[in-house]
Chains A and B, each alone.
Chain A
């Protein structure tokens, strides 16, 4: 047991190296993750944007936070996919008969998700810059944005881990992220919630995406963030902890 504990970080770094190689040998996964959100951004800015009243003078600025969350929500589906493939193939069994930490296997996938989503986020921000996105925020607000996005990625990745570990088919493993991708539509990501009918509005204002979007938007435009950031953090940490414990339980039961 001691030995297993001592090597935890070695195990994680080997696992991280392994799945990073998987990613870089299938760059199409990162491209796919970037294309849909960028297309959405084009659609909303150049087709629908003229008709949307947000009160902000730069609609790309308004849109970007929601687009980033959408990209992350679709990006984590690949974690579910990769975990499912590992579970299907013999390689997981090989690892499980070796004296290596069990959770290191999952953490390897989770850290990989963090890295690959960070890449997509950067690509999308670059695309947004081309489309007129501007931010007056300094280094600290940007770090806060990076922190929130990382936390959001971690939380959703652990949700994806549950899906990947318990799925019976490959479709099942990746299909769960579709509803997550649509959450930004019923939030303040594209239009202000005040324009929605009351039931929808109640949902929109109380789901995690809205507070996260509002917090990021405020940070990027150098506005006071108020309570919104604490609500956003509470959502992320809450989902993260719940999903982590549930994923670990599924993992222990399955293997």
Chain B
């Protein structure tokens, strides 16, 4: 237990007739990056909502930071933060006000200073005093993630953090995630992009039709598939590489 930040056993959840989770098991080691991979409607958000105490499972158990999510939600909430699939910022408040609000709700000293630090770290200083409703998608996402990091929670949930972002912003988010993990934070992220899981995750689980059909490290997963045949093909740059080269942000990798 002590090494598991998250442990999920036999999780079931249905909405009315539709069975979404049919016995999901996995565990996430402390300080690691865990990616839950699945296509649209696979149930990724449902898993996240159960683990973050927003939704009750039908059966099975889930513990986060050693506490049962169903019976000890308050203890779980002390340890986590969520960046949901859709940005959860207050659009009428400015970026700075959003950060100060969350810092106050986490009972931190010096909310203003914390806000300043975060704005700087996420490149939002110039937009700090504009309403969040005027932010671009990427800025909103960055503010959203910044809000989740206020108070340095031990476990961070990111539900499709890069969906809808341009390649540049995506790489920025990846960088943040890697920094967090390097600092010892446990990260649970969901994604539809194989590449994202490949880039970030220490361990990957694939959710399909209500069950985890494969899990392990990237190399373990690769072994599940037949060895790739070696062929010599002239390497074409990918569109992403071209885009990044033109935009001149290649060093951001």
Contact = CB atoms under 8 A, between A and B. Distances in A.
B104 A97 contact: no
Interface in B81-97: 81-82, 84, 86-93, 97
A97 B77 contact: yes
B107 A93 contact: no
Interface string B60-89: 000000000000001001101110101111
Contacts of B77: 97-99
Nearest to B97: A21
A109 to B, nearest CB: 13
B82 A97 contact: yes
A14 B92 contact: no
Contacts of B139: none
Contacts of A18: 90, 93, 101
Given A7-B107, A10-B107, A11-B105, A99 B90 contact: no
B104 A14 contact: yes
B33 interface: no
A96 interface: yes
A125 interface: no
A14 B84 contact: no
A99 B54 contact: no
Interface of A: 1, 3-4, 7, 10-11, 14, 17-18, 21-22, 25-26, 89-91, 93-100, 255
14 contacts: A7-B107, A10-B104, A11-B105, A14-B101, A90-B86, A90-B89, A94-B82, A94-B102, A95-B105, A96-B54, A97-B81, A99-B77, A99-B78, A255-B54
A14 B99 CA distance: 12
Contact of B87 (A7, A17, A90, A96): A90
Contacts of A90: 84, 86-89
Interface in B39-77: 52-54, 74, 77
Contacts of A99: 74, 77-78
Contacts of A255: 54
Nearest to A95: B105
B168 to A, nearest CB: 23
B147 interface: yes
Contacts of A93: 54, 82, 84, 88
Contacts of A91: 88-90
Please name the 10 residue pairs, one residue from A and one from B, whose CB atoms are nearest each other, closest first. Answer: A90-B88, A94-B88, A99-B77, A97-B82, A97-B52, A14-B104, A90-B84, A99-B78, A90-B86, A22-B92
Given A3-B78, A94-B88, A96-B53, 9 more contacts: A1-B74, A14-B104, A26-B92, A91-B88, A93-B84, A94-B84, A97-B77, A98-B81, A99-B78
Nearest to A14: B104
A17 B93 CA distance: 11
Interface string B129-154: 00100000000000000011000000
B131 to A, nearest CB: 8
Contact of B147 (A7, A10, A94): A94
A165 B81 CA distance: 24
A133 B142 CA distance: 55
A97 B52 CA distance: 6
Interface string B226-246: 000000000000000000000
Contacts of B101: 14, 17-18
Contact of B106 (A17, A22, A96, A98): A98
B98 to A, nearest CB: 9
Contacts of A3: 78
A231 B80 CA distance: 49
A128 to B, nearest CB: 32
A1 B131 CA distance: 34
Given A96-B53, A96-B54, A98-B81, A4 B92 contact: no
A17 to B, nearest CB: 8
A4 to B, nearest CB: 6
A198 B182 CA distance: 79
A29 B34 CA distance: 46
B51 to A, nearest CB: 10
Nearest to B86: A90
Contacts of A1: 74
Contacts of A94: 82, 84, 88, 102, 147-148
B153 to A, nearest CB: 9
Nearest to A23: B92
B62 to A, nearest CB: 14
